Amino acid sequence: MDRFKFLTSFFPSILILIFSSMFIVLIYNSLPILEREGIRFITDSTWRASESNPEEEWYGIATALWGTLYTAILATAITLPLSLSTAIFICEFAPRKVREFLAITLDMMATLPTVVYGVWGMTILAPTVRDHVIIPIVEALGWTLIFSEYSPSGQCIFTAALVLAIMNIPYATAILREAYTMIPQVYREGIISLGATRTEAIRILLGMIKHAIIAAVALSFGKAVGETTAVTLTVGNSFKMSLSPFVAGYTVTSLLVNQFGNAYTYKYASYALYGAALVMLLINTICILAGLTLASRWAKTYGFRT
Amino acid sequence: MTRNVIYAIIGLCIIVVLIAGGIFAFHIIGSKTGIEYGTNILIKGDGATFPEPQIQAWINAYTSMKKNVKIEYAGVGSGQGQSDFINGIVDFAGSDPPLKSDKWSEAVKKYGKVYQFPIIAGAVAIAYNIPEIPDTYHLKLSSSVLVNVLLGKIVYWDDDRIKELNPDITDKLPHKEIIFVHRSDSSGTTQIFTTYLSLVSTEWKSTVGSGKLVEWPLDATGRGLGAKGNPGVASTLKSTPYSMGYVELAFTKGLGVVALENREGNFVIPTEESIKESLKQVSYVLPSPDKNWDEYNILEKILNPPGENSYPVIAFSHFIVKGANNYDENVAKALADFIEWVLTEGQKGEYIVEGYVALPPEIAQIGLKVAEELRGG
């Protein structure tokens, strides 16, 4: 039995080792930029590279951080209601054939390469969203200043968030469905026997899977923060910080993928990119830990094992 | 988990392993057939993405004749390629700009001798998407109008200064804002284009300057957009009416191409002929391959060249290799053969990928000297 224990603990320990070594490498490589710029690395929005004079180089990731958080929050906000209703529909209302078809579709969506979403988002979704969503909203609400501008190509924070949301729906739906079907039958019977309508029953049951909702939110958010290819193709890649979701922005991941190729031609750029990766990892870790803690606390209330 | 599920998973794993193994086995068998002599030689390179399709085409053609040589090239970016070359990870680097002086001395200190030479030429085209303009017409832009557009001084397509240059289509130029699409990634294409702008405009030089990444003035107005890579710029242009941007020649399909004013005041579109004309004009300014090219300000010398029909924004892509004693003897010989083939046979039309332009013999000569050096000749 001990040998079995050893075998099963072997790979998890390697995983932890790999993850911590990544963390150390990131910290080590971002030290030069953190020493040079300090907190302004995070709060400044200037991104200036100079080959001829390293003294002129300045890297602030505020714009990219803003874009990452904005797209991720917006994406999660879109994902949650859509995946919640999909999950309820599948569990409660869908006939068996439809349910199977939906399940297969969702599985296919989950396995599509992200670049497919990216290319589709860039070539089809962005112009469509621009013509049928963004321009009407800007025309109607342009006077509010927030919506006064928009990205002429349709590639913007909103489009990126939409693509992210579509990519995350299969995962979030899977978590919610799993939790919903795990609710012990006695609760369901109890609620119905008390004379609750179907809608009331669903509302009560949803309250019981709060932990799964939080887990789905944490996972969607984490995936949205980390997604690279699809976001880079749809976010517009402009160093512009704006409240409007219709303006082209930048994310930390697109910063990394856009600039790593030539980062070594500058003195500090590669350190700045490592620093950006480190900050992103920290944000993600905090969010996922917070989500998991909340989820497990709620799960305990209803006697679920997590 | 039930027993059946475990069996199913194991079964799936076996199928996947078998497929992967089969592919691998065929690959090995495929590459082993037709060995001519000796052991197999592997030459590794990486770097610029711009010449990658051309380099792959050469590699495919060359290694199908020389079965014992295997050449790998990965498009990871010029900067990464230079860094990998200096760190000894690759045998040769592909790079759009030559090594900067500090990298050059670092490499020379490490390897004793370092050679750089052009392998292929190309051009940066200015592409646009104005649905009203017929496909047969090429919008004419002078260098000063171009700079004024990019500085934000000309906002609309129907600006008088643009109309003046295009009297035949004044009624077709729309009153729409000019959207400018540029590269979001750090790019040699951007460096070439901004160096050209700095050459033709002192105002551009002092306010924006040149480099692989610059702060585009139009971004602040919301009319400037970044897109990743040449494909990203091209597809953003296609989906954004009234936009214009700069791309490598190969990516202009389906877009209008600007006829740009050259040094002699003629409006020229980038074609094989107009680029060759430019190349002829600049062949004499290129230094010998063992020199520090950065000191010669190559880009500034090759851009906006003289010549009636020269296209002004041309570019070279380079190989960077080290002195023969840094390689295994066989590798040095194989690399020399490959370079020689690339610069002679490889420059013939049948091997040149669309969008690239072959080097004239005077320029190919530079790299041929390196091939001789590598052979220890």
* Closest listed residue to residue B200, CA positions, set B288, B275, B126, B305: B305
Residues 72-131 of B with CB under 8 A from A: 76-80, 82-83, 100, 103
Report the 10 Å Cβ neighbour count for B317: 24
pLDDT class of B79 with cuts at 50, 70, 90:
confident
d(CA B85, CA B92) in angstroms, rounded, equals 6
The average pLDDT across B264-286 equals: 91
Contact call for residues A261 and B190 (beta carbons, < 8 A): no
CA angle B144/B185/B98 to nearest 5° reads 75
- Catalogue all structural domains in chain A, each as residue range(s) with its CATH number: 58-301 (1.10.3720.10)
Residue with tokens 């460096």: B191
pLDDT at position B36: 43
**Residue A256 at interface with chain B, using a CB cutoff of 8 Å:** no
pLDDT at position B29: 60
Q: pLDDT digit string (tens) for B201-218? A: 999 999 999 888 888 999
Residue with tokens 């109890």: A190
Q: How far is A54 from chain B (nearest CA, A)?
A: 12
Residues 71-130 of A with CB under 8 A from B: 122-123, 126-127
Report the 10 Å Cβ neighbour count for B77: 29
pTM for the full model? 0.80
- Residue A85 one-letter amino acid: S
Contact call for residues B48 and B77 (beta carbons, < 8 A): yes
Query: Smallest Cβ distance to A49: which of B80, B213, B236?
Result: B213
DSSP assignment of A88-128 equals HIIIII--HHHHHHHHHHHHHHHHS-HHHHHHHIIIIIHHH
Cα separation values, B305 from B205, B262, B267, B298, B373, Å: 18, 8, 14, 12, 31
pLDDT at position B39: 65
Task: Answer yes or no: do B226 and A48 touch at CB < 8 A.
Answer: no
Report the 10 Å Cβ neighbour count for A150: 22
Query: What's the CA dihedral at A164, A169, A175, A177 to 10 degrees?
Result: 170
Alpha helices in B37-187 (DSSP H): 52-65, 78-86, 101-111, 143-150, 160-165
**Residue B201 at interface with chain A, using a CB cutoff of 8 Å:** no
- Residue A111 one-letter amino acid: T
Contact call for residues A250 and A235 (beta carbons, < 8 A): yes
pLDDT at position B228: 86
pLDDT at position B377: 55
Residues ≥6 apart with Cβ < 8 Å to A179: A209, A211, A212, A215, A304
More confident residue, A162 or B329: A162
Structure tokens at A118: 């990216």
pLDDT class of B100 with cuts at 50, 70, 90:
confident
ipTM value for the complex: 0.73
Answer positive or negative: Cα dihedral of A285, A288, A292, A293. Answer: positive
Average predicted confidence (pLDDT) for chain B: 89
The average pLDDT across B82-105 equals: 90
Q: How far is A249 from chain B (nearest CA, A)?
A: 9
pLDDT at position B33: 42
Count helices and strands in chain B by DSSP H and E runs: 13, 12
Instruction: Print pLDDT tens along chain A (306 aa).
Output: 677 888 888 888 899 999 899 999 999 999 999 999 999 999 988 888 877 788 888 999 999 999 999 999 999 999 999 999 999 999 989 999 999 999 999 999 999 999 999 999 999 999 999 999 999 998 888 788 778 788 888 999 999 999 999 999 999 999 999 899 888 889 888 998 999 888 899 999 988 888 889 889 988 999 999 999 999 999 988 888 889 999 989 999 999 988 887 788 788 999 999 999 999 999 888 888 888 888 888 777 766 554
d(CA A157, CA A170) in angstroms, rounded, equals 21
Q: How far is A119 from chain B (nearest CA, A)?
A: 9
